[in-house]
Amino acid sequence: MSVSIDIDTTDFENTMNRVNDTVRSLPYRIVSEGAQIVQPEMANQVPVRTGYLRASIDSVISETSSITSTHAFYALFVDQGTKGHWIEAHRSGFLRWEDTSGVHFRRKVWNPGFTGRQFVAKTVEASIGRIRDAINRILEEMK
C-alpha cells in the first residue's frame, strides 16, 4: 500500500518569481526616483545668468546608484566660491570690459573672489526628506 501526494506548485513558483523580480528591481527603482527628485531640485537651486549651468544638470542612473551633476566646467567655482586672485591678459595683451562708467582696458586686474552659492548642499537639504518619503512609499507598496 502507498500514498501519493501531488501538489501543483505552479502558483507558488509564479508568486516567488514575482517577489524575486520585485526585490531585484527595488534598488534601481529607489535610485531612479531619487534622481527624479534631485535633478529638478538642483536646477532650482543653481543661480542663473545665461542658463548654461542649469541646462547642463543631468543624472546618470545605474542598478544601485544615481549621480546628478553638471557638465559646466565652472560649476565648482559657482558652488564653492573662489579666493581673491589676479587675472592677467594673455592673447591680446589686454583685458576689456564695460560697465556703467565706460569701457576699460587693463593688462591685469584683481578679482576679490566669490563666496559661492552652495547649490549642491542646498539641493541635498531640500531633497533628503522627499527621498525618504519616496523610499517609504515604495516599501509600503511592496507589502
Asked if 79 contacts 45 with a C-beta cutoff of 8 angstroms, the reply is no
Side chain identity, residue 124: V
Q: Is 111 left (phi over 0), alpha (psi -120 to 50) or beta?
A: beta
Side-chain-side CA neighbours of residue 63 (13 Å):
3
Q: Is 9 left (phi over 0), alpha (psi -120 to 50) or beta?
A: alpha
CA distance to 1, 32, 59, per residue, from 65 (Å): 60, 8, 10
pLDDT in tens, 53-104: 999 999 999 988 999 999 999 999 999 999 999 999 988 789 999 999 999 9
Side chain identity, residue 74: Y
- The pTM of the full predicted model, rounded to 2 decimals, is 0.74
C-alpha span between 114 and 120 (Å, rounded): 16
pLDDT at 23: 77
Side chain identity, residue 33: E
pLDDT at 4: 66
pLDDT at 72: 95
Among 18, 35, 14, smallest CA distance to 123 is for 35
Asked if 45 contacts 65 with a C-beta cutoff of 8 angstroms, the reply is no
Among 107, 115, 111, smallest CA distance to 89 is for 107
Asked if the model's pLDDT at residue 8 lies above 70, the reply is: yes
